[in-house]
A = this chain, B = another copy of it.
């Protein structure tokens, strides 16, 4: 199955407790696509400015990501400057420049309209719905969002969520959206809004999957060194959705494996700045780490 994804392609300036990087290729759709392409065909819908490096376009193309939907317009790429503090949990945004993203209206190429899986990255919920309305009849629709949209555009988001099968957010966003701090209650409320499957991204604490009365938890991979956490959640989404696209099976058991592949892809991303590690891993690296997850989580029942 082919995945259509919409989101940001950006340049980041990243400061960590140990190092910094300027003009690092980033954006939610970049990480998502580079992770998902290990599993399935990925069609990318995003906007870039005329400052986008040819080398970065080639990097994406060389990873078999279809760029027909990557619109280039005059202006500068989306820019984010962030800093991670010594505890790695707190992140300060120093600067956000929407640039070409400000007037982004996703146009879905005809060749993308019958894609079976749609991943709506974290953009305005009305744009997410616009994308969905241009699709023929996707088999699975998944959506990521953030506190800004939950707070400022709640009505729009609730409208979009009616058409969504699977919601991927973090725990504070799940609490904000549902009004419940406890995730099982949150999942019940969110299921009534539309998404029957809730995948809670918990960063260094892993991920939680809830569908109906079934629950599954996955840890984050315990790493010796974290270099740059940027994009870990988007890479998780890419592994998760990518696996589901390659293995179209609605069983909860299949969803569990998708969560582990999500955790695998997120774990690679934090091992380097930007997309460096994510863009250089092999299929064997992915399978090795999947088996490492078996090792660190399984016990005799």
Residues of A within 8 A of B (CB): 86-88, 181-185, 202, 205-206, 208, 210, 215-219, 222-226, 253, 256-257, 259-260, 291, 294-301
Which residues of B sit under 8 angstroms from A88, Cβ to Cβ? 181
Q: Is the CB of B253 within 8 A of A299?
A: yes
Cβ of A188 to closest chain B Cβ, rounded Å: 9
Whether the Cβ atoms of A219 and B219 lie closer than 8 Å is: yes
Q: Give the distance in Å from the alpha carbon of A256 to the alpha carbon of B224 in the complex.
A: 21
13 extra interface residue pairs, beta carbon distance < 8 Å, beyond A182-B224, A182-B226: A86-B181, A185-B224, A205-B205, A206-B217, A215-B296, A216-B296, A216-B297, A217-B219, A256-B300, A259-B299, A260-B299, A294-B301, A297-B299
**DSSP majority for the A interface?**
mixed
Question: From A260, which residue of chain B is reached at the shortest CB distance?
Answer: B299
- Chain B residues near A206 (CB, 8 Å)? 205, 217, 219
Most chain B CB neighbours (cut-off 10 Å) among A181, A259, A294, A301 = A301
Instruction: Please give me the residue from chain B that is nearest to A171 by CB atom.
Output: B204
Q: Assuming A216-B296, A299-B216, is B182 touching A223 (CB within 8 A)?
A: yes
Judge whether B299 and A256 touch: CB under 8 Å. yes
In the complex, the count of this chain's copies comes to 2
Q: Are B222 and A208 in contact (CB under 8 A)?
A: yes
A-B pairs with beta carbons under 8 Å apart, 16 shown: A88-B181, A182-B225, A183-B222, A184-B223, A185-B224, A202-B205, A206-B217, A215-B295, A216-B296, A217-B222, A217-B297, A253-B300, A294-B301, A297-B297, A298-B298, A298-B301
Hey, which chain B residues are within 8 Å of A224, CB to CB? 182, 184-185
In the assembled complex, how far is the CB of residue A16 from the closest CB belonging to chain B, in whole angstroms? Answer: 12
Residues of B within 8 A of A184 (CB): 222-224
Taking CB as reference atom, which chain B residue is nearest A225?
A: B182
A215 close to B205 (CB less than 8 A) = no
Bound Cα distance from A68 to B163, whole angstroms: 65
A250 smallest CB distance to B (angstroms):
16
Q: Which residues of B contact A210 (CB under 8 A)?
A: 222
Whether B181 lies near A299 (C-beta < 8 A) is no
Closest to A210 in B: B222
Which chain B positions have C-beta within 8 A of A205? Answer: 202, 205-206
Complex CA distance for A301 and B181, rounded to whole angstroms:
32
Please pick, from B181, B225, B295, B300, the residue contacting A87 in the complex, using a CB distance under 8 A. Answer: B181
User: Which of A217, A218, A253 has the most chain B CB within a 10 Å cutoff?
Assistant: A217
Complex alpha-carbon distance, A281 and B141, angstroms: 43
Give bound CA distance, A257 to B298, whole Å. Answer: 10
How far in angstroms is the closest Cβ of chain B from A249?
12
